[in-house]
Amino acid sequence: MILKLTSILLYAFIAFLLALFIYPTYIKLLKKRKAWQSIREADVTGNSATIYKQLHKHKWWTPSMWWWIILLIVFVMVLWSLLVQELWRINNSLLTRQETYMPLFWFFSMGILGLIDDYINIKWKTLIKWLSAKIKFIWMFLFSGFISWWFYWKLGIDTINLRPFAWELYLWFFMPILTFFGTVIIVNAINIADWLDGLVGWLWLIVLGSLWVITFITQWYLASTVITIIAATLIAFLRYNINPAKIFLWDSWALALWWIISTMIYLLNINFGILIPAIILMLLFWIEFASSFLQITRKKLFKKKLFPIAPYHHLLEYLWQKEHTIVMRFWLIQWILAMIALLSILYQLFL
C-alpha cells in the first residue's frame, strides 16, 4: 500500500508542477486571443439578465477555457504511464478495464465537446449561441443514453445498492431511465454552481478528495491516481481562481468532470454501495439545480420569477452577502457533507 501511495503522489506532484508551470503563459495567451465570454445579456427564458449583469460586470474580461490544461495534463499522464509500463515492463498503466476505461473515455469525449462549445461561444458569441446550446444538449442526451445502455444491457446492471438503508433494489428496465436522467441532471447541476471566485473549484476539490479516499481504501488504485491527477491540476487552478479570479472554468470542465465522476460512482456502487453517501456528498449541487429548475419552470409556466435571481448562490449575492462570505460558507458546508458521506461509507465497509 505504501508503494501504491508513493506512486499516486508522484503522479500528483508531476501534474501539479506541469499545471503551475503552464498556467501563467496560458492565461497571457488567452488574454491575447481575447478568449473570454461576455457577461450574458439574457437568461435561459430569453428575458434580460439585468440582476446578473449588475452582480458580475466586474468579471467581464476574465479569460476562460481553463479545461484545455487539465485535458492536456491527464492525457500526458496517461501516455507517461503507458511509456513507463513499456520501458520498465511493470503493470503501471492508468488504463484498466475495471477502473478507468469508461471514466477516461467519457472524460475526454465530453471534455472535447465542452471545449468546442466554449470556443464557439467565445469566437461567435451572437451568431451561434443557441445553436451551440442545442448541439450540447443533443450530445449530452446521446452520451447519457449510451451510459445507460452500457450499464443495463452490456454489464447487466438492473439493481441499485442503497446501503446502509437497504441492500439492493431491483429496478429492471427502470434502471437505464434512472441512470439517464440522473446523469443529465447532475451534469447541469455542476455547471450551474459557478461564477463566484474560488467557489466551484474548492467544492469539487472536496468531492474529488472524498472519492479519492473511497477508491484508495477499496484498492481501486488506478482510479485513485486519475482522481489525484485531476485534483492536483485543480489545486494549481485555484491559485489563479481565488478572488480576484484571473481565469474561469466555464462549461467544458462541468461536462467532462461529472462524466468521469458519475461513471466512477456507478462502478463503485455496484461493488461497495456508495449511492446514498454520494447523494449526500453532492447535496449542495442538488440545491443549486433545484433553485434554478424551479425558477425556470415558474417563468416558463406563469411568466413570473420565483426568486429575484437563481441559482441559490446568486440569490445570496442579491441579498447583499459578500462573495467571499458565500464562498467560504459553501466550503464549510461541503466539508461537513464530505465527512458525513465518508463516515457512512467507512461504516458500511468495516462494520
Rounded Cα distance between 80 and 86, Å, is 10
Q: How many CA atoms lie less than 13 Å away from 43 in the CB half-sphere?
A: 21
* Mean pLDDT computed over every residue of the chain: 78
Position 333 confidence tier, pLDDT thresholds 50, 70, 90: very high
Distance between first and last Cα of the chain: 21
> How many C-beta atoms surround the C-beta of residue 288 within 10 A?
26
Amino acid, single-letter form, for residue 294: L
Specify the range with the lowest mean pLDDT, choosing from 18-32, 134-148, 328-342: 134-148
Rounded Cα distance between 105 and 321, Å, is 40
What SS3 state is found at 335?
helix
pLDDT at 50 over 70: no
Rounded Cα distance between 234 and 226, Å, is 12
Rounded Cα distance between 250 and 230, Å, is 16
Tell me the residue range of the domain where 12 lies: 2-350
* Residue 35: predicted pLDDT: 64
Strand partners for 161: 168
Q: Give tens-digit pLDDT for 1-45.
A: 777 888 889 999 999 999 888 888 887 877 776 666 555 555 555
Q: Are 229 and 13 in contact (CB under 8 A)?
A: no
pLDDT at 223 over 80: yes
Element (H, E) at 347: helix 323-350
Give the chain's domain count: 1
**Measured torsion, CA atoms of residues 213, 271, 227, 80, in degrees rounded to the nearest 10:** 120
* Residue 58: predicted pLDDT: 57
